[in-house]
Amino acid sequence: MFLIVLTHANIFSLGRPKMANFEAEPVWTGVRFAVQSFSYIGVNLFILISGYFGIKPRFKAVSSFLFYVLFFSLFCLLGLWIVGLAIGQPLVKPEMWGNALRILTKYNWFIPAYLMLMLFAPALNSWCAAATRRQLLLATLLLFAASTYLGWMTHGLKEFLDGYSFPSLILLYLIGRYLRLHGGYLMRRSRRTDMIHFLAYVAVNTALALWRIPHPYEMSLFALNNPLQLYGTVCFFAYFTKLHFQNQTVNSIARSTFGIFLLQMHPQVMPWFRKAVKYLYGNAGHGLFSAEVVGLVIAFCIAGILIDRLRAPLWRQIDEPLDRLYHRLKAKLPAL
C-alpha cells in the first residue's frame, strides 16, 4: 500500500517527464523513473499475496469487503462535508451521498475487478488444486503470452487494458497459486538472487524509460502487465517469502492497510492529494520535495490505518446478525 500511494505521488500526480525535463534535469528524471519502476509493483504484489495464500471466499468475506468500501466512501464524504461547513464552502454535492457505494469506481478499476476475483476464487482454487504442475504452468504461460502480446505489445485485446482488468488479476492469481503449490526454481533460489534480479529489473526499466523519451513507442513500461514489471514483482515477492519473520503487531496493522488504498483513491480525496504533491513540487528543491512526499505518503498510510480502526468495531456489530441471517437462508436454500 505504501508503494501504491508512492506511485500516485509520482507520475500520476506530476505527469510523465518530457524531453525538456530530461534535457534540463537528466539525473532527476532518471530518479523519478527509478522510483516509479520500484513502486509500480504494489498492485501486482497485492494480488500475488492473494494468490499465494488463496482467497477463501465466504459470505462473510464478500460482505466485509463491500462494507469496507462503503464505510470509506461515506467517511471521506462526511469528512469533506464537515470541512466544507468549517470553511463555508460546500465540498460535497447531494448526489454523492446516494452514490456512495460506487463512488470509488470513477478513479478506480480495482474494486470491481477484485470483487470479481473473490467470486471466482473457489473455481480457480479447485482447478489449481486438481491440475497437474504442467497443466497449471501451461495455463499460466498461455495467459501470460496473451497478456503480453495482445494486451501489452499490440493492445489487440482490450480486455487486458494494460493490466488494469479482471483477466490480468486472474493471471497474477494463477502465478501466486503456482508459486505456493509447486514453487520451482524461483522459490528455491537465494534471497540475494531475488533482490539482485529485482534491482536489475528496476535498472533496465528505468533505462528503457529514459531511452523512450526521444524514441517514443506504444508499449507502456508503467503498465501492470509489462512482462519486465511482472518478473520484478515475482522477484520482490519471492524475496519476502524466504524471510522467516512473524510479528503480531505487523499482522494487526496489515489487517487495516486496505483502508490506505480506499482513502487515497477516493475520487474526492485524490484531486486534493495530487494538488498537494504539485504544490510541494513547485515550492521545494528535489531533496526537500522527496522528503516531504515520503512524509505525505506515510501520513496517508497512518490515516488509512487509524480510520479503519473505527470501521472494525462497527463491522463486528453488523457482522453477527448478518451472519445469522445468512445461515438461516442457507438452511432453507442449500445451494447457497
Place 87 in a pLDDT band, splitting at 50, 70 and 90: confident
Q: Name the DSSP letter for residue 57.
A: -
What CA–CA distance (Å, rounded) separates 331 from 336? 9
Most distant CA pair in the chain, distance = 70
Q: What is the mean pLDDT of residues 114-123?
A: 93
Joined together, the cell numbers standing for residue 23 give 534535457
Place 325 in a pLDDT band, splitting at 50, 70 and 90: confident
For cell 482513502, name the residue. Answer: 263
pLDDT > 80? residue 332: no
What CA–CA distance (Å, rounded) separates 334 from 336? 5
Q: Which residues contact 153 (CB under 8 A, 6 or more apart)?
A: 219
Joined together, the cell numbers standing for residue 253 give 496493522
pLDDT value for 207? 96
- Give 184 or 31, the one with higher predicted confidence: 31
Q: Can you list the alpha helix ranges (DSSP code H) found in 15-151?
A: 19-24, 26-39, 42-53, 59-87, 94-98, 110-130, 133-146
Place 106 in a pLDDT band, splitting at 50, 70 and 90: low
- pTM metric for this prediction: 0.91
For cell 534480479, name the residue. Answer: 197
Q: Which residues contact 82 (CB under 8 A, 6 or more apart)?
A: none
Q: Report whether 36 contacts 74 (CB < 8 A).
A: no
pLDDT tens, 29-82? 999 999 999 999 999 999 999 999 999 877 888 888 989 998 998 898 889 888
What CA–CA distance (Å, rounded) separates 41 from 4? 8
What CA–CA distance (Å, rounded) separates 219 from 297? 29
Range(s) of the domain holding residue 87: 2-332
Q: Between the CA of residue 142 and those of 133, 146, 149, 174, 187, what are the distances in Å? A: 14, 6, 11, 11, 21
pLDDT tens, 202-230? 999 999 999 999 888 778 899 999 999 99
User: pLDDT > 70: what percent of the chain?
Assistant: 97
Average pLDDT, the chain: 90
Least confident segment among 105-109, 235-239, 300-304, 313-317? 105-109
pLDDT tens, 165-183? 999 999 999 999 999 999 8
Residues in the chain: 336
pLDDT > 70? residue 107: no
Q: Region of 89 please: left (phi>0), alpha (psi -120 to 50) or beta.
A: beta
pLDDT value for 230? 96
pLDDT > 60? residue 196: yes
pLDDT value for 94? 77
- Give 282 or 217, the one with higher predicted confidence: 282
Neighbours of 325 (CB within 10 A): 11
Q: What Rg value do the Cα atoms of the chain yield, rounded?
A: 21
Place 335 in a pLDDT band, splitting at 50, 70 and 90: low
Q: Between the CA of residue 310 and those of 96, 280, 291, 305, 316, what are the distances in Å? A: 22, 30, 29, 9, 11
pLDDT value for 316? 85
Structural domain count of the chain: 1
- Give 326 or 153, the one with higher predicted confidence: 153
For cell 488504498, name the residue. Answer: 261
Place 235 in a pLDDT band, splitting at 50, 70 and 90: very high
What CA–CA distance (Å, rounded) separates 227 from 148? 7
Q: Between the CA of residue 233 and those of 102, 200, 283, what are the distances in Å? A: 29, 12, 34
